[in-house]
Amino acid sequence: MMDLAPPWRDAFLFIGGLTLLHAGRLIASSPLPLLHGDNLIYFIGEFSMVSAVLLTASRFLRTQGADDFCLVLFVISSIASLHYLSISSENAYTNDISGHVDYASFISGHWLHPYQYKGYQSHQAPTYYYLAGAAVWVAKTLRTISVMTALRFLSWTCYLSFNAFGLLTLRRSGITGASQYACAALLLFWPGGMHLASKISNEPCFFAAYAACFYYAVCWYQEGKERQLMMAVLLAGVALTIRTNAIILFMILAALITTAWLRRRFSLRNLLSWRWAIVGIALAACVWVLWGRIQFLSVDGGGGGPRLQNPLPPGYFLFFSYNDFIAHPFNDWSARGGFWDFLLKTSLFGEYQWPQPFFGLTLDMLALAIALYAFLPWPAAKRQEWRGMLPFAAGVAAPLMVQIGYVLWRMTFTAQDARYVYPMLPCLVVFFGRSIDFFKARDTYLLSRLGPLLAWSFSLFSLIFFWQNAR
């Protein structure tokens, strides 16, 4: 993309600066401020830190050729999530927060001995907790922000990283114009993501590494550059040291490499080089870092609390329980009728009961319409319309396969359902955008306009939902 002309670029930066300033005023006057309104020096320092992160992410997107309007949406989403972070309590709609904070605090004082920690989260791989430990150390050293605020700011930074790589993945899909903007809005204003931006957990960090890995995997599949595949494999290893869910990434990479090999676009001899030997050593190091988690799985059987004793109802994975979906806008474990309706609700709101059932039900219905719009046209798609969709199809299929396998293996608390949906969100919005183009190519005016209408309505209601819950 050509760079903006200097006057327009300056206008964009000026408007962005005013928006940041307004967000800072909102944050400074909030009950639980991220930025201190009672001390000008603290306010300037912390506001500069927030601005530096946001402007760095925006500059990265510009250098990678992101669309200007998508960049504007990125800034709006980032500020909206930051405002919700500042207004809401760190204990709102989250779990296991004390375990994460305790582990990070231990790491901040025992950098070289992470597995000496014995606590509620000791089974987790330590990579996220090294980053969190650094945030804790900075908070305790500067004494200008609390430990909780520092850890939530880390989650917000990871949320920005996920969004950035998600937008770059969307750009690689070939979707342009109004379809791209609708997809970008879905990605950036997805309720589950905006909530994760304020959550103290290793999940936002894992999602950021996941999105970066998938982006480089798509780049390699499209361009065939070896360094892109190396980057994807290394990032998959890093993601594995954050959460074992990253096994999904290796499934996706295996599918892409196998396809490229069968099409004679990739030779296994390429792996016999000193560069790949270094990559192999790095992966071995990642497995070694993960060894504590592997031991926990072998002893505990997977964690996640006690198994549910109730057997799965017949047709659990086959049918959509519409009655339960309507009757319970948010998660209700006792009313879990089917796999798909429960998966959709938890992908939006997690396992929590929010106080806005009207907006919750509206978002549920819009999300259902978006899912149907994204996937129903594809059985009728022509072969050339499927071209280039393999990475995104693998990005949807692999998480769902692992999710279904996990539920069959161990039926535990509800959060497990949501954790496999959000990282595949860039792939879902690509299917949604290509469906818009599918209807445009067939001159179906109403259906081609319905897609953007659904996306923008969903994004607007998502912002209203969090604005209401941030009061």
Q: Note the pLDDT tens digit of each residue in 118-175.
A: 766 767 778 888 898 898 888 888 777 778 888 888 999 999 999 999 999 999 998 8
Q: Are residues 37 and 43 in contact, defined by beta-carbon separation less than 8 angstroms?
A: yes
Q: Are residues 169 and 62 in contact, defined by beta-carbon separation less than 8 angstroms?
A: no
Structure tokens at 218: 């798509």
User: Could you give the percent of the chain with pLDDT greater than 90?
Assistant: 28
pTM: 0.87
- Name the more confident of 412 and 140: 140
Q: What is the pLDDT of residue 429?
A: 95
Is the predicted pLDDT of residue 31 greater than 50, yes or no?
Answer: no
User: Could you give the percent of the chain with pLDDT greater than 70?
Assistant: 77
pLDDT-derived band at 36 (thresholds 50, 70, 90) equals very low
- Name the more confident of 371 and 59: 371
Q: What is the pLDDT of residue 455?
A: 95
Report the amino acid identity of residue 250: F
Q: What is the pLDDT of residue 432?
A: 95
Q: Crossing angle of helices 390-409/425-441, nearest 10°?
A: 130
Q: Specify the range with the lowest mean pLDDT, choosing from 9-18, 68-77, 330-339.
A: 9-18
Q: What is the pLDDT of residues 277-289, one digit of tens each?
A: 998 898 888 887 7
Is the predicted pLDDT of residue 249 greater than 90, yes or no?
Answer: yes
Q: What is the pLDDT of residues 170-193, one digit of tens each?
A: 999 988 889 999 999 999 999 988
pLDDT-derived band at 256 (thresholds 50, 70, 90) equals very high
Is the predicted pLDDT of residue 418 greater than 60, yes or no?
Answer: yes
Task: Give the Cα separation of 284 and 268 in Å (integer).
Answer: 19
Compute the average pLDDT of residues 334-362: 78
Report the amino acid identity of residue 237: G
Spell 107-129 as b/e; 16+ CB within 10 A means b: bbeeeeebeebeeebbbbbbbbb
Q: What is the pLDDT of residue 32?
A: 41
Helix (H, G, I), strand (E, B) or coil at 67: coil
Report the amino acid identity of residue 64: Q
Task: Give the Cα separation of 47 and 360 in Å (integer).
Answer: 32
Q: What is the pLDDT of residues 52-87, one digit of tens each?
A: 788 888 888 888 888 889 998 998 898 888 888 877
pLDDT-derived band at 426 (thresholds 50, 70, 90) equals very high
Is the predicted pLDDT of residue 412 greater than 80, yes or no?
Answer: no
